[in-house]
Chains A and B, each alone.
Chain A
Amino acid sequence: MEQTKILSLHQLSKRYGPVQALNGVSFDVPAGSVFGVLGPNGSGKTTLLAIVMDVLKANSGTYSWFGQSAHHTLRRRIGTLLETPNFYHYYSAVRNLEIAAAIKQHGHDDIERVLKLAGLWERKDSKFSTFSLGMKQRLAIASALLGNPEVLLLDEPTNGLDPAGIAEIRDMIRELGKQGTTVIMASHLLDEVEKVCTHVAIMKKGVLLTCGHVDEVLSSEDMIEVSAPDAGKLEQALNTIPGLRSLRRHNGGFQIVLDNGQTAEQVNAYCFEQGITLNYLALRRKSLEARFIELTN
Chain B
Amino acid sequence: MPGLTQGFALSEQNENVLSPRQMALRRFVSHKAAVVSCIIIGVLTLFVILAPFTARYGVNQSVQAPPNSFLSPRSNAWLGTDDIGRDLYSRLIYGVRVSLLIGLASAIISVTLGALVGAVAGFRGGKFDDILMRVTDLFLAFPFLVTLLVVRNVLGGLPWLKPITGEMNSVRFIIVLFSIFGWMGVARIVRGQVLSLKEREFVEAARAVGASRRYIIVRHLLPNSIGPIMVALTFSVVGAIISESTLAFFGYGPQAGDGATSLGILVGAAKGAVQTGFWWLAVFPCFVLIIIALSINFIGDALRDATDPRLDRGA
Same complex origin of A and B: no
> B residues near A, CB below 8 A?
none
